[in-house]
Structure 1
Protein backbone atom coordinates (compact mmCIF):
# COMPACT_ATOMS: atom_id res chain seq x y z
CA UNK A 1 0.00 0.00 0.00
CA UNK A 2 1.20 3.56 -0.71
CA UNK A 3 2.61 5.23 2.38
CA UNK A 4 1.38 8.71 1.45
CA UNK A 5 -1.53 9.92 -0.67
CA UNK A 6 -2.51 13.41 -1.78
CA UNK A 7 -5.27 13.59 0.81
CA UNK A 8 -2.66 13.07 3.55
CA UNK A 9 -0.97 16.32 2.47
CA UNK A 10 -4.34 18.07 2.50
CA UNK A 11 -5.04 17.04 6.08
CA UNK A 12 -1.50 17.57 7.37
CA UNK A 13 -1.04 21.10 5.95
CA UNK A 14 -4.68 22.18 5.86
CA UNK A 15 -4.62 22.67 2.08
CA UNK A 16 -7.68 23.97 0.26
CA UNK A 17 -8.96 21.79 -2.59
CA UNK A 18 -9.56 23.98 -5.66
CA UNK A 19 -10.28 21.31 -8.29
CA UNK A 20 -9.57 17.71 -9.30
CA UNK A 21 -11.22 16.09 -6.28
CA UNK A 22 -11.31 12.64 -7.89
CA UNK A 23 -7.50 12.43 -7.71
CA UNK A 24 -7.00 13.01 -3.97
CA UNK A 25 -6.26 9.29 -3.46
CA UNK A 26 -3.28 9.36 -5.82
CA UNK A 27 -0.08 7.90 -4.32
CA UNK A 28 3.00 10.05 -3.70
CA UNK A 29 6.12 7.98 -4.40
CA UNK A 30 8.95 10.52 -4.03
CA UNK A 31 9.84 13.26 -1.55
CA UNK A 32 11.29 15.41 -4.34
CA UNK A 33 9.20 18.43 -5.27
CA UNK A 34 9.12 20.26 -8.60
CA UNK A 35 8.78 23.97 -9.30
CA UNK A 36 7.89 23.80 -13.01
CA UNK A 37 9.40 27.10 -14.12
CA UNK A 38 11.11 25.72 -17.24
CA UNK A 39 7.95 23.79 -18.07
CA UNK A 40 6.01 27.05 -17.98
CA UNK A 41 8.41 28.23 -20.68
CA UNK A 42 7.40 25.24 -22.81
CA UNK A 43 10.17 22.67 -22.17
CA UNK A 44 8.47 19.42 -21.05
CA UNK A 45 11.09 16.89 -22.26
CA UNK A 46 12.26 16.06 -18.73
CA UNK A 47 9.09 16.99 -16.88
CA UNK A 48 9.00 15.01 -13.56
CA UNK A 49 5.26 14.36 -13.66
CA UNK A 50 5.36 11.90 -10.72
CA UNK A 51 6.35 14.69 -8.30
CA UNK A 52 4.19 17.16 -6.41
CA UNK A 53 4.23 20.39 -8.43
CA UNK A 54 4.61 23.67 -6.56
CA UNK A 55 3.52 26.94 -8.18
CA UNK A 56 4.60 30.19 -6.56
CA UNK A 57 4.41 33.86 -7.39
CA UNK A 58 7.23 33.62 -9.97
CA UNK A 59 5.61 30.80 -11.98
CA UNK A 60 2.13 32.33 -11.93
CA UNK A 61 3.44 35.81 -12.88
CA UNK A 62 5.26 34.35 -15.88
CA UNK A 63 2.21 32.27 -16.83
CA UNK A 64 0.02 35.40 -17.11
CA UNK A 65 2.42 36.85 -19.72
CA UNK A 66 1.77 33.94 -22.11
CA UNK A 67 -0.73 33.97 -24.93
CA UNK A 68 -4.12 32.30 -24.47
CA UNK A 69 -3.13 29.32 -26.62
CA UNK A 70 0.20 28.89 -24.77
CA UNK A 71 -1.52 29.04 -21.37
CA UNK A 72 -3.95 26.28 -22.38
CA UNK A 73 -1.18 24.07 -23.81
CA UNK A 74 1.12 24.49 -20.77
CA UNK A 75 -1.60 23.54 -18.30
CA UNK A 76 -2.72 20.57 -20.40
CA UNK A 77 0.88 19.32 -20.30
CA UNK A 78 1.27 20.07 -16.57
CA UNK A 79 -1.78 18.05 -15.51
CA UNK A 80 -1.19 14.34 -16.11
CA UNK A 81 -2.80 11.07 -15.01
CA UNK A 82 -0.03 10.42 -12.44
CA UNK A 83 0.73 13.90 -11.04
CA UNK A 84 -0.15 13.67 -7.32
CA UNK A 85 -0.99 17.36 -6.86
CA UNK A 86 -0.38 20.89 -8.07
CA UNK A 87 -0.12 23.23 -5.10
CA UNK A 88 -0.45 27.02 -5.24
CA UNK A 89 1.31 28.95 -2.47
CA UNK A 90 0.52 32.39 -0.98
CA UNK A 91 -3.24 31.78 -1.59
CA UNK A 92 -2.68 32.60 -5.27
CA UNK A 93 -5.67 32.44 -7.57
CA UNK A 94 -5.75 29.31 -9.74
CA UNK A 95 -5.80 30.22 -13.47
CA UNK A 96 -8.98 29.04 -15.29
CA UNK A 97 -6.80 27.04 -17.70
CA UNK A 98 -5.32 25.09 -14.77
CA UNK A 99 -8.75 24.31 -13.30
CA UNK A 100 -10.06 23.11 -16.66
CA UNK A 101 -7.03 20.90 -17.32
CA UNK A 102 -7.08 19.45 -13.79
CA UNK A 103 -10.75 18.50 -14.04
CA UNK A 104 -10.06 16.75 -17.35
CA UNK A 105 -7.28 14.52 -15.90
CA UNK A 106 -8.45 14.41 -12.27
CA UNK A 107 -5.26 16.10 -11.05
CA UNK A 108 -5.82 17.72 -7.62
CA UNK A 109 -5.15 21.46 -7.47
CA UNK A 110 -4.57 22.63 -3.89
CA UNK A 111 -3.91 26.00 -2.29
CA UNK A 112 -1.89 27.05 0.76
CA UNK A 113 -1.48 30.34 2.60
CA UNK A 114 2.23 29.66 3.25
CA UNK A 115 5.06 31.26 1.30
CA UNK A 116 6.57 29.06 -1.42
CA UNK A 117 9.96 28.40 0.22
CA UNK A 118 8.44 27.65 3.62
CA UNK A 119 5.80 25.37 2.10
CA UNK A 120 8.46 23.54 0.08
CA UNK A 121 10.53 22.94 3.23
CA UNK A 122 7.56 21.62 5.23
CA UNK A 123 6.40 19.34 2.41
CA UNK A 124 9.90 17.91 1.86
CA UNK A 125 10.45 17.18 5.57
CA UNK A 126 7.06 15.49 5.87
CA UNK A 127 7.51 13.36 2.75
CA UNK A 128 11.08 12.35 3.59
CA UNK A 129 9.92 11.13 6.98
CA UNK A 130 6.98 9.19 5.55
CA UNK A 131 8.81 7.74 2.53
CA UNK A 132 12.08 6.87 4.26
CA UNK A 133 13.33 3.25 3.95
CA UNK A 134 12.13 1.22 6.94
CA UNK A 135 12.87 -2.08 8.64
CA UNK A 136 12.13 -3.82 11.96
CA UNK A 137 14.63 -5.34 14.40
CA UNK A 138 14.00 -7.69 17.32
CA UNK A 139 15.45 -5.89 20.32
CA UNK A 140 15.07 -3.06 22.83
CA UNK A 141 15.79 0.63 22.25
CA UNK A 142 16.69 2.83 25.24
CA UNK A 143 17.79 6.46 25.47
CA UNK A 144 20.83 6.47 27.80
CA UNK A 145 22.36 9.88 28.53
CA UNK A 146 21.18 11.06 25.11
CA UNK A 147 22.66 8.04 23.29
CA UNK A 148 20.17 5.82 21.47
CA UNK A 149 21.25 2.29 22.42
CA UNK A 150 19.76 -0.67 20.56
CA UNK A 151 20.04 -3.83 22.69
CA UNK A 152 19.89 -7.05 20.67
CA UNK A 153 20.41 -10.74 21.43
CA UNK A 154 18.71 -14.12 21.38
CA UNK A 155 15.30 -14.53 22.99
CA UNK A 156 15.54 -15.00 26.76
CA UNK A 157 19.03 -13.50 27.15
CA UNK A 158 17.66 -10.68 29.34
CA UNK A 159 17.10 -7.69 27.05
CA UNK A 160 13.79 -6.56 28.58
CA UNK A 161 15.00 -7.11 32.16
CA UNK A 162 18.07 -4.99 31.43
CA UNK A 163 15.85 -2.29 29.92
CA UNK A 164 13.70 -2.31 33.08
CA UNK A 165 16.78 -1.79 35.26
CA UNK A 166 17.92 1.06 32.98
CA UNK A 167 14.50 2.72 33.27
CA UNK A 168 14.72 2.42 37.07
CA UNK A 169 18.11 4.16 36.87
CA UNK A 170 16.49 7.16 35.16
CA UNK A 171 16.86 6.36 31.46
CA UNK A 172 14.04 6.30 28.92
CA UNK A 173 12.45 3.40 27.08
CA UNK A 174 11.67 3.84 23.38
CA UNK A 175 10.67 0.33 22.28
CA UNK A 176 10.67 -3.24 23.55
CA UNK A 177 10.62 -6.50 21.57
CA UNK A 178 10.17 -4.88 18.13
CA UNK A 179 11.99 -1.70 17.08
CA UNK A 180 10.76 -0.03 13.90
CA UNK A 181 13.65 1.75 12.19
CA UNK A 182 13.55 4.30 9.38
CA UNK A 183 16.49 5.90 7.62
CA UNK A 184 15.79 9.62 7.49
CA UNK A 185 19.21 10.65 6.17
CA UNK A 186 22.40 9.05 4.91
CA UNK A 187 23.69 8.23 8.41
CA UNK A 188 20.56 8.81 10.48
CA UNK A 189 18.49 5.88 11.76
CA UNK A 190 15.41 6.72 13.83
CA UNK A 191 13.92 3.98 16.01
CA UNK A 192 10.38 3.89 17.37
CA UNK A 193 7.88 1.42 18.77
CA UNK A 194 4.89 -0.11 16.98
CA UNK A 195 1.76 1.66 18.21
CA UNK A 196 0.29 -1.55 19.64
CA UNK A 197 3.16 -2.12 22.12
CA UNK A 198 4.25 1.47 22.74
CA UNK A 199 5.46 2.09 26.35
CA UNK A 200 5.06 -1.62 27.18
CA UNK A 201 7.70 -4.04 28.52
CA UNK A 202 7.36 -7.83 28.65
CA UNK A 203 9.04 -9.32 31.71
CA UNK A 204 8.98 -13.11 32.02
CA UNK A 205 7.21 -14.03 35.24
CA UNK A 206 5.49 -10.64 35.52
CA UNK A 207 3.94 -10.32 32.08
CA UNK A 208 3.22 -7.02 30.35
CA UNK A 209 3.92 -3.82 32.29
CA UNK A 210 3.22 -0.23 31.25
CA UNK A 211 6.42 1.76 31.84
CA UNK A 212 4.74 5.16 31.52
CA UNK A 213 2.06 4.26 34.07
CA UNK A 214 4.59 2.82 36.53
CA UNK A 215 7.44 5.31 36.19
CA UNK A 216 5.82 8.40 34.65
CA UNK A 217 6.00 10.21 31.32
CA UNK A 218 9.70 10.98 31.86
CA UNK A 219 10.56 7.28 31.59
CA UNK A 220 9.53 6.94 27.93
CA UNK A 221 9.96 8.67 24.62
CA UNK A 222 8.34 8.10 21.22
CA UNK A 223 11.45 7.91 19.01
CA UNK A 224 15.22 8.20 19.20
CA UNK A 225 18.17 8.24 16.82
CA UNK A 226 20.13 4.97 17.09
CA UNK A 227 23.90 5.40 17.42
CA UNK A 228 25.11 2.33 19.36
CA UNK A 229 24.25 -1.39 19.26
CA UNK A 230 24.82 -3.67 22.26
CA UNK A 231 24.70 -7.40 21.50
CA UNK A 232 23.99 -9.54 24.56
CA UNK A 233 25.13 -13.16 24.29
CA UNK A 234 25.53 -16.01 26.76
CA UNK A 235 29.09 -16.37 28.03
CA UNK A 236 31.15 -18.73 25.88
CA UNK A 237 34.32 -20.01 27.61
CA UNK A 238 35.90 -20.83 24.27
CA UNK A 239 35.37 -17.37 22.83
CA UNK A 240 37.94 -14.59 23.15
CA UNK A 241 36.22 -11.33 24.19
CA UNK A 242 37.73 -7.89 23.68
CA UNK A 243 39.31 -6.77 26.97
CA UNK A 244 40.87 -3.49 25.85
CA UNK A 245 38.17 -1.94 23.67
CA UNK A 246 40.42 -1.39 20.66
CA UNK A 247 38.38 -3.59 18.34
CA UNK A 248 35.23 -2.04 16.92
CA UNK A 249 32.62 -4.16 15.18
CA UNK A 250 29.96 -2.68 12.92
CA UNK A 251 26.35 -3.65 12.32
CA UNK A 252 24.69 -2.57 9.08
CA UNK A 253 21.04 -1.52 9.26
CA UNK A 254 19.50 -0.45 5.94
CA UNK A 255 22.40 1.66 4.55
CA UNK A 256 24.05 2.76 7.79
CA UNK A 257 26.91 1.16 9.76
CA UNK A 258 26.54 1.39 13.54
CA UNK A 259 29.13 0.69 16.25
CA UNK A 260 28.39 -2.72 17.78
CA UNK A 261 29.65 -3.98 21.15
CA UNK A 262 29.25 -7.60 22.28
CA UNK A 263 28.64 -8.02 26.02
CA UNK A 264 28.77 -11.58 27.42
CA UNK A 265 26.04 -12.48 29.91
CA UNK A 266 26.75 -14.55 33.01
CA UNK A 267 25.49 -14.57 36.63
CA UNK A 268 26.81 -11.70 38.73
CA UNK A 269 27.29 -9.23 35.86
CA UNK A 270 25.24 -6.04 36.19
CA UNK A 271 24.27 -5.57 32.56
CA UNK A 272 22.43 -2.29 33.14
CA UNK A 273 25.54 -0.65 34.62
CA UNK A 274 27.77 -2.09 31.89
CA UNK A 275 25.49 -0.75 29.13
CA UNK A 276 25.20 2.60 30.93
CA UNK A 277 29.00 2.90 31.04
CA UNK A 278 29.23 1.78 27.39
CA UNK A 279 26.95 4.67 26.41
CA UNK A 280 29.02 7.17 28.42
CA UNK A 281 32.26 5.79 26.98
CA UNK A 282 30.82 6.08 23.47
CA UNK A 283 30.07 9.77 24.12
CA UNK A 284 33.64 10.26 25.37
CA UNK A 285 35.02 8.72 22.17
CA UNK A 286 32.91 11.12 20.10
CA UNK A 287 34.56 13.94 22.06
CA UNK A 288 38.02 12.54 21.27
CA UNK A 289 38.78 10.72 24.55
CA UNK A 290 39.65 7.06 23.97
CA UNK A 291 40.83 5.32 27.16
CA UNK A 292 41.91 2.15 25.33
CA UNK A 293 44.11 4.04 22.87
CA UNK A 294 45.59 6.17 25.67
CA UNK A 295 46.44 3.02 27.67
CA UNK A 296 48.00 1.32 24.63
CA UNK A 297 50.06 4.41 23.89
CA UNK A 298 51.33 4.61 27.51
CA UNK A 299 52.07 0.87 27.51
CA UNK A 300 54.08 1.17 24.31
CA UNK A 301 56.03 4.05 25.90
CA UNK A 302 56.84 1.99 29.02
CA UNK A 303 57.99 -0.97 26.89
CA UNK A 304 60.18 1.31 24.77
CA UNK A 305 61.78 2.85 27.90
CA UNK A 306 62.47 -0.65 29.28
CA UNK A 307 64.19 -1.70 26.06
CA UNK A 308 66.36 1.41 26.13
CA UNK A 309 67.43 0.73 29.77
CA UNK A 310 68.45 -2.87 28.90
CA UNK A 311 70.64 -1.59 26.10
Structure 2
Protein backbone atom coordinates (compact mmCIF):
# COMPACT_ATOMS: atom_id res chain seq x y z
CA UNK A 1 0.00 0.00 0.00
CA UNK A 2 1.22 3.50 -0.85
CA UNK A 3 2.62 5.45 2.08
CA UNK A 4 1.88 9.16 2.35
CA UNK A 5 3.61 11.36 4.88
CA UNK A 6 2.96 14.92 5.94
CA UNK A 7 6.18 15.95 4.22
CA UNK A 8 4.62 14.88 0.90
CA UNK A 9 1.88 17.48 1.35
CA UNK A 10 4.45 20.17 2.11
CA UNK A 11 6.37 19.30 -1.05
CA UNK A 12 3.41 18.95 -3.40
CA UNK A 13 1.20 21.84 -2.31
CA UNK A 14 3.91 24.28 -1.25
CA UNK A 15 2.46 24.64 2.25
CA UNK A 16 4.19 26.76 4.91
CA UNK A 17 5.29 24.87 8.01
CA UNK A 18 4.40 26.95 11.07
CA UNK A 19 5.03 24.58 13.96
CA UNK A 20 5.68 20.93 14.80
CA UNK A 21 8.58 20.42 12.37
CA UNK A 22 9.55 17.26 14.26
CA UNK A 23 6.41 15.51 13.02
CA UNK A 24 6.66 16.11 9.27
CA UNK A 25 7.41 12.42 8.73
CA UNK A 26 4.17 11.27 10.35
CA UNK A 27 2.20 8.87 8.17
CA UNK A 28 -1.23 9.74 6.79
CA UNK A 29 -3.39 6.60 6.80
CA UNK A 30 -6.71 7.82 5.35
CA UNK A 31 -7.94 10.13 2.61
CA UNK A 32 -10.65 11.56 4.89
CA UNK A 33 -10.11 15.10 6.14
CA UNK A 34 -11.66 16.39 9.36
CA UNK A 35 -12.90 19.91 10.14
CA UNK A 36 -13.06 19.81 13.96
CA UNK A 37 -16.04 22.11 14.52
CA UNK A 38 -17.72 20.02 17.23
CA UNK A 39 -14.34 19.49 18.83
CA UNK A 40 -13.82 23.25 19.09
CA UNK A 41 -17.06 23.30 21.05
CA UNK A 42 -15.62 20.70 23.42
CA UNK A 43 -17.16 17.46 22.10
CA UNK A 44 -14.28 15.01 21.52
CA UNK A 45 -16.13 11.71 21.94
CA UNK A 46 -15.87 10.84 18.24
CA UNK A 47 -12.81 12.92 17.39
CA UNK A 48 -11.10 11.28 14.34
CA UNK A 49 -7.56 12.00 15.54
CA UNK A 50 -5.97 9.84 12.81
CA UNK A 51 -7.21 12.17 10.06
CA UNK A 52 -5.62 15.31 8.69
CA UNK A 53 -7.26 18.23 10.54
CA UNK A 54 -8.26 21.39 8.71
CA UNK A 55 -9.05 24.70 10.41
CA UNK A 56 -10.79 27.39 8.38
CA UNK A 57 -12.16 30.79 9.19
CA UNK A 58 -15.18 29.40 11.05
CA UNK A 59 -13.17 27.13 13.37
CA UNK A 60 -10.52 29.72 14.21
CA UNK A 61 -13.08 32.51 14.75
CA UNK A 62 -14.91 30.30 17.24
CA UNK A 63 -11.64 29.32 18.90
CA UNK A 64 -10.61 32.94 19.41
CA UNK A 65 -13.82 33.64 21.35
CA UNK A 66 -13.11 30.90 23.91
CA UNK A 67 -11.64 31.54 27.35
CA UNK A 68 -7.96 30.79 27.93
CA UNK A 69 -8.73 27.62 29.88
CA UNK A 70 -11.04 26.38 27.11
CA UNK A 71 -8.41 27.17 24.47
CA UNK A 72 -5.78 25.22 26.41
CA UNK A 73 -8.14 22.24 26.69
CA UNK A 74 -9.01 22.27 22.98
CA UNK A 75 -5.46 22.48 21.63
CA UNK A 76 -4.24 19.78 24.00
CA UNK A 77 -6.94 17.38 22.79
CA UNK A 78 -6.50 18.34 19.11
CA UNK A 79 -2.77 17.56 19.07
CA UNK A 80 -2.52 13.81 19.66
CA UNK A 81 0.22 11.27 19.06
CA UNK A 82 -1.49 9.98 15.91
CA UNK A 83 -2.65 13.26 14.35
CA UNK A 84 -0.69 13.57 11.07
CA UNK A 85 -1.03 17.34 10.84
CA UNK A 86 -3.19 20.45 11.04
CA UNK A 87 -3.78 22.68 8.00
CA UNK A 88 -4.68 26.35 8.42
CA UNK A 89 -6.35 27.95 5.38
CA UNK A 90 -6.67 31.51 4.03
CA UNK A 91 -3.21 32.35 5.36
CA UNK A 92 -4.72 33.15 8.77
CA UNK A 93 -2.67 33.77 11.87
CA UNK A 94 -2.16 30.67 13.98
CA UNK A 95 -3.05 31.04 17.68
CA UNK A 96 -0.02 31.00 19.97
CA UNK A 97 -1.54 28.29 22.20
CA UNK A 98 -2.01 26.02 19.19
CA UNK A 99 1.60 26.54 18.11
CA UNK A 100 2.87 25.69 21.61
CA UNK A 101 0.70 22.55 21.84
CA UNK A 102 1.77 21.42 18.35
CA UNK A 103 5.46 21.88 19.12
CA UNK A 104 5.11 19.94 22.34
CA UNK A 105 3.20 17.04 20.73
CA UNK A 106 5.17 17.08 17.47
CA UNK A 107 2.08 17.72 15.31
CA UNK A 108 2.93 19.68 12.14
CA UNK A 109 0.92 22.84 11.54
CA UNK A 110 0.83 23.84 7.87
CA UNK A 111 -0.59 27.02 6.40
CA UNK A 112 -2.09 27.62 2.96
CA UNK A 113 -3.06 31.00 1.44
CA UNK A 114 -5.98 29.43 -0.46
CA UNK A 115 -9.66 29.24 0.46
CA UNK A 116 -10.85 26.40 2.65
CA UNK A 117 -13.03 24.63 0.05
CA UNK A 118 -10.24 24.72 -2.51
CA UNK A 119 -7.69 23.31 -0.06
CA UNK A 120 -10.07 20.50 0.97
CA UNK A 121 -10.77 19.63 -2.66
CA UNK A 122 -7.11 19.45 -3.69
CA UNK A 123 -5.98 17.53 -0.61
CA UNK A 124 -8.87 15.05 -0.88
CA UNK A 125 -8.25 14.39 -4.58
CA UNK A 126 -4.56 13.83 -3.95
CA UNK A 127 -5.08 11.49 -0.99
CA UNK A 128 -7.86 9.50 -2.70
CA UNK A 129 -5.59 8.95 -5.69
CA UNK A 130 -2.79 7.75 -3.43
CA UNK A 131 -5.03 5.40 -1.43
CA UNK A 132 -7.07 4.10 -4.37
CA UNK A 133 -7.28 0.27 -4.76
CA UNK A 134 -4.55 -0.96 -7.11
CA UNK A 135 -3.89 -3.97 -9.34
CA UNK A 136 -1.95 -4.90 -12.47
CA UNK A 137 -3.15 -6.83 -15.53
CA UNK A 138 -1.23 -8.35 -18.43
CA UNK A 139 -2.28 -6.48 -21.55
CA UNK A 140 -1.95 -3.33 -23.64
CA UNK A 141 -3.77 -0.03 -23.06
CA UNK A 142 -4.38 2.33 -25.98
CA UNK A 143 -6.31 5.58 -26.32
CA UNK A 144 -8.46 5.12 -29.44
CA UNK A 145 -10.62 8.13 -30.41
CA UNK A 146 -10.67 9.16 -26.75
CA UNK A 147 -11.77 5.71 -25.57
CA UNK A 148 -9.42 3.80 -23.28
CA UNK A 149 -9.23 0.32 -24.85
CA UNK A 150 -7.38 -2.42 -22.98
CA UNK A 151 -6.31 -5.27 -25.23
CA UNK A 152 -5.95 -8.63 -23.49
CA UNK A 153 -5.19 -12.16 -24.65
CA UNK A 154 -2.66 -14.96 -24.51
CA UNK A 155 1.02 -14.19 -24.89
CA UNK A 156 1.96 -14.06 -28.58
CA UNK A 157 -1.58 -13.51 -29.88
CA UNK A 158 -0.60 -10.11 -31.34
CA UNK A 159 -1.52 -7.50 -28.72
CA UNK A 160 1.64 -5.39 -29.10
CA UNK A 161 1.59 -5.62 -32.91
CA UNK A 162 -2.02 -4.43 -32.93
CA UNK A 163 -1.10 -1.56 -30.61
CA UNK A 164 1.76 -0.60 -32.96
CA UNK A 165 -0.64 -0.47 -35.91
CA UNK A 166 -3.04 1.68 -33.87
CA UNK A 167 -0.21 4.09 -33.00
CA UNK A 168 0.71 4.30 -36.71
CA UNK A 169 -2.91 5.21 -37.41
CA UNK A 170 -2.70 8.18 -35.03
CA UNK A 171 -3.82 6.74 -31.70
CA UNK A 172 -1.88 6.86 -28.44
CA UNK A 173 -0.13 4.18 -26.42
CA UNK A 174 -0.57 4.18 -22.65
CA UNK A 175 0.99 0.90 -21.55
CA UNK A 176 2.34 -2.31 -23.05
CA UNK A 177 2.71 -5.76 -21.45
CA UNK A 178 1.63 -4.66 -17.94
CA UNK A 179 -1.15 -2.20 -17.17
CA UNK A 180 -1.20 -0.75 -13.66
CA UNK A 181 -4.80 -0.01 -12.68
CA UNK A 182 -6.13 2.05 -9.80
CA UNK A 183 -9.79 2.44 -8.94
CA UNK A 184 -10.98 6.00 -8.46
CA UNK A 185 -14.45 6.59 -7.03
CA UNK A 186 -16.65 3.50 -7.31
CA UNK A 187 -16.88 3.11 -11.10
CA UNK A 188 -13.70 4.55 -12.59
CA UNK A 189 -10.53 2.64 -13.50
CA UNK A 190 -7.39 4.54 -14.45
CA UNK A 191 -4.66 2.63 -16.30
CA UNK A 192 -1.01 3.60 -16.56
CA UNK A 193 2.36 2.06 -17.36
CA UNK A 194 5.00 0.92 -14.87
CA UNK A 195 7.78 3.57 -14.89
CA UNK A 196 10.36 1.04 -16.09
CA UNK A 197 8.60 0.33 -19.40
CA UNK A 198 6.76 3.61 -19.98
CA UNK A 199 6.50 4.52 -23.70
CA UNK A 200 8.11 1.20 -24.67
CA UNK A 201 6.63 -1.48 -26.92
CA UNK A 202 7.93 -5.03 -27.35
CA UNK A 203 7.64 -6.45 -30.87
CA UNK A 204 8.75 -10.04 -31.35
CA UNK A 205 11.53 -10.14 -33.93
CA UNK A 206 12.39 -6.45 -33.46
CA UNK A 207 12.72 -6.19 -29.68
CA UNK A 208 12.03 -3.09 -27.63
CA UNK A 209 11.06 0.11 -29.43
CA UNK A 210 10.47 3.57 -27.95
CA UNK A 211 7.14 4.78 -29.27
CA UNK A 212 7.66 8.40 -28.21
CA UNK A 213 11.06 8.58 -29.93
CA UNK A 214 9.76 6.99 -33.15
CA UNK A 215 6.34 8.64 -33.45
CA UNK A 216 6.60 11.74 -31.26
CA UNK A 217 5.09 12.94 -27.99
CA UNK A 218 1.59 12.87 -29.49
CA UNK A 219 1.74 9.08 -29.80
CA UNK A 220 1.82 8.40 -26.05
CA UNK A 221 0.05 9.44 -22.88
CA UNK A 222 0.75 8.73 -19.22
CA UNK A 223 -2.65 7.45 -18.09
CA UNK A 224 -6.17 6.85 -19.38
CA UNK A 225 -9.57 5.78 -18.05
CA UNK A 226 -10.31 2.18 -19.08
CA UNK A 227 -13.66 2.20 -20.90
CA UNK A 228 -13.69 -1.18 -22.64
CA UNK A 229 -11.73 -4.41 -23.02
CA UNK A 230 -10.97 -6.22 -26.29
CA UNK A 231 -9.91 -9.81 -25.69
CA UNK A 232 -7.97 -11.35 -28.58
CA UNK A 233 -8.06 -15.12 -28.94
CA UNK A 234 -7.06 -17.57 -31.70
CA UNK A 235 -9.98 -18.51 -33.94
CA UNK A 236 -11.78 -21.60 -32.67
CA UNK A 237 -13.90 -23.34 -35.32
CA UNK A 238 -15.97 -25.03 -32.63
CA UNK A 239 -16.89 -21.81 -30.85
CA UNK A 240 -19.91 -19.65 -31.63
CA UNK A 241 -18.92 -15.97 -31.71
CA UNK A 242 -21.37 -13.11 -31.23
CA UNK A 243 -22.43 -11.86 -34.67
CA UNK A 244 -25.02 -9.26 -33.70
CA UNK A 245 -23.55 -7.56 -30.67
CA UNK A 246 -26.66 -7.97 -28.53
CA UNK A 247 -24.84 -9.88 -25.79
CA UNK A 248 -23.28 -7.51 -23.26
CA UNK A 249 -20.20 -9.27 -21.88
CA UNK A 250 -18.27 -7.66 -19.02
CA UNK A 251 -15.06 -8.23 -17.10
CA UNK A 252 -14.83 -7.40 -13.40
CA UNK A 253 -11.71 -5.51 -12.32
CA UNK A 254 -11.72 -4.84 -8.59
CA UNK A 255 -15.22 -3.38 -8.00
CA UNK A 256 -15.92 -2.22 -11.55
CA UNK A 257 -17.65 -4.08 -14.40
CA UNK A 258 -16.01 -3.13 -17.70
CA UNK A 259 -17.64 -3.86 -21.11
CA UNK A 260 -15.74 -6.62 -22.90
CA UNK A 261 -15.71 -7.96 -26.46
CA UNK A 262 -13.96 -11.10 -27.68
CA UNK A 263 -12.36 -10.81 -31.13
CA UNK A 264 -11.11 -14.00 -32.82
CA UNK A 265 -7.72 -13.75 -34.52
CA UNK A 266 -6.86 -15.38 -37.82
CA UNK A 267 -4.90 -14.37 -40.95
CA UNK A 268 -6.57 -11.66 -43.00
CA UNK A 269 -8.36 -9.89 -40.14
CA UNK A 270 -7.31 -6.28 -39.64
CA UNK A 271 -7.42 -6.08 -35.85
CA UNK A 272 -6.50 -2.40 -35.69
CA UNK A 273 -9.50 -1.43 -37.84
CA UNK A 274 -11.79 -3.72 -35.81
CA UNK A 275 -10.66 -2.07 -32.57
CA UNK A 276 -11.13 1.40 -34.08
CA UNK A 277 -14.69 0.50 -35.05
CA UNK A 278 -15.30 -1.04 -31.60
CA UNK A 279 -14.19 2.23 -29.96
CA UNK A 280 -16.41 4.33 -32.24
CA UNK A 281 -19.34 1.97 -31.66
CA UNK A 282 -18.77 2.27 -27.89
CA UNK A 283 -19.01 6.05 -28.17
CA UNK A 284 -22.24 5.73 -30.14
CA UNK A 285 -23.72 3.48 -27.46
CA UNK A 286 -22.78 6.10 -24.85
CA UNK A 287 -24.82 8.59 -26.89
CA UNK A 288 -27.80 6.21 -27.00
CA UNK A 289 -27.31 4.76 -30.50
CA UNK A 290 -27.12 0.95 -30.56
CA UNK A 291 -26.95 -0.56 -34.05
CA UNK A 292 -27.56 -4.13 -32.82
CA UNK A 293 -30.72 -3.15 -30.94
CA UNK A 294 -31.96 -1.10 -33.90
CA UNK A 295 -31.48 -4.12 -36.18
CA UNK A 296 -33.24 -6.39 -33.68
CA UNK A 297 -36.20 -3.99 -33.44
CA UNK A 298 -36.36 -3.67 -37.21
CA UNK A 299 -36.34 -7.46 -37.61
CA UNK A 300 -39.04 -7.88 -34.97
CA UNK A 301 -41.25 -5.30 -36.68
CA UNK A 302 -40.78 -7.02 -40.04
CA UNK A 303 -41.73 -10.40 -38.57
CA UNK A 304 -44.80 -8.90 -36.89
CA UNK A 305 -45.92 -7.23 -40.12
CA UNK A 306 -45.36 -10.45 -42.06
CA UNK A 307 -47.38 -12.41 -39.52
CA UNK A 308 -50.28 -9.93 -39.67
CA UNK A 309 -50.21 -10.01 -43.46
CA UNK A 310 -50.46 -13.79 -43.60
CA UNK A 311 -53.26 -13.77 -41.07
CA UNK A 312 -55.28 -11.23 -43.06
CA UNK A 313 -54.70 -13.14 -46.28
CA UNK A 314 -55.90 -16.36 -44.72
CA UNK A 315 -59.06 -14.68 -43.40
CA UNK A 316 -59.94 -13.23 -46.84
CA UNK A 317 -59.62 -16.67 -48.52
CA UNK A 318 -62.02 -18.23 -46.08
TM-score by length of 2: 0.95
Task: Tell me how far apart the structure 2 counterparts of residues 158 and 138 of structure 1 sit (CA, whole Å).
Answer: 13
**Aligned-pair CA distance for 1:2:** 4.3
- The aligned residue for residue 41 of structure 1 is 41
Runs of 5+ unmatched residues, structure 1: none
- The aligned residue for residue 219 of structure 2 is 219
Q: Conserved in 1, the CA contact under 8 Å of 2:2 and 2:130?
A: no
Deviations 1:24-76 (A, max 9, x none): 11111211111111101100001111111011121111111111111111001
1:1-311 pair list within 5 angstroms? 2-311=2-311
Task: Tell me how far apart the structure 2 counterparts of residues 177 and 97 of structure 1 sit (CA, whole Å).
Answer: 56
Moved more, 221-230 or 93-102: 93-102
**Aligned-pair CA distance for 1:178:** 0.8
Task: Tell me how far apart the structure 2 counterparts of residues 233 and 278 of structure 1 sit (CA, whole Å).
Answer: 16
Runs of 5+ unmatched residues, structure 2: 312-318
Task: Tell me how far apart the structure 2 counterparts of residues 42 and 303 of structure 1 sit (CA, whole Å).
Answer: 74
Counterpart secondary structure, 1:232: strand
Q: Would you say how many aligned residue pairs link Structure 1 and Structure 2?
A: 311
Counterpart secondary structure, 1:272: helix
Deviations 1:281-303 (A, max 9, x none): 11111111111111111112222
Task: Tell me how far apart the structure 2 counterparts of residues 278 and 114 of structure 1 sit (CA, whole Å).
Answer: 45
Q: Conserved in 2, the CA contact under 8 Å of 1:2 and 1:28?
A: no
Counterpart secondary structure, 1:58: helix
Task: Tell me how far apart the structure 1 counterparts of residues 266 and 168 of structure 2 sit (CA, whole Å).
Answer: 21
Return the index of the structure with the highest Cα Rg: 2
Structure 1 ranges of 4+ moved more than 3 A: none
Counterpart secondary structure, 1:181: strand
Task: Tell me how far apart the structure 2 counterparts of residues 309 and 35 of structure 1 sit (CA, whole Å).
Answer: 72
**Aligned-pair CA distance for 1:140:** 0.5
